[in-house]
Amino acid sequence: MSSTFLQAFVTLFAILDPVGNTPVFLALTADLPAPARRGVALRATVYMVAVLLFFSLAGRFIFGLFGVTLAAFRVTGGLILLKVGFDMLEARDNRMKRTDEEEAAAREKEDVSLIPLAIPMLAGPGAISAVLMLTDAGHGPMETAMVWAAVAANAVLVYAAFRLAEPLSRWMGATGERLVTRLMGLLLVSLAIQFVIKGVQEIWTG
């Protein structure tokens, strides 16, 4: 169970990249006072958890509804994570997480916690795919609980990073943020390749 938690925690941490996402959070909440910014950080984190847990619970139903096998989804999800990881390795903005149009529209709204912060910046295709694969890779309720615990642990880190966004951004600087993002990208690429290999093996033997 500890290995399930560790794999889920590391995978989600690499995808969510709390440190790398703090500049976006700061940009979208630049005009807000400190109390309002804290509220946005909390709501974005809660929305993210809700979305990820929903897909964790509904994963098997979604697979059955569309006739998608877990092995096929492992390959597809692994390729999605691979794309996200390569973008992070190059310190390049990931268009799967957000678009310029979404950010521009978000700045015109009073609350940016749901869109684009929670969706798709945090609970985007990569995180959703990872949660689905990690949940269905488990062999019982305890393994599923470990995945949920990993989601909760990452939510705490995301919230902490957003709450400390200003001092964290000043301390690390642009170079430090890019370095962390590249390291997370390297880790994510390795995990994505494992997902793809396992999916191909299941298709080949199944």
pLDDT tens column, 100-113: 555 555 455 567 89
Within 8 A by CB and 6+ apart from 114, the residues are 43, 44, 47
**Peptide bond preceding 116: is omega within 30 degrees of 0, i.e. cis?**
yes
pLDDT tens column, 132-171: 888 876 667 888 999 999 999 999 999 999 999 888 888 8
Residue 36's identity, in one-letter code, is A
- 3-class SS shares of the chain: helix, strand, coil, % to 5: 85, 0, 15
HSE at residue 87, side-chain half, CA atoms within 13 A, is: 18
pLDDT at position 195 is 83
HSE at residue 67, side-chain half, CA atoms within 13 A, is: 0
pLDDT at position 16 is 92
Taking CB atoms within 8 Å and a gap of at least 24, the contacts of 101-107 are 103/24, 103/27, 103/28, 106/28, 107/28
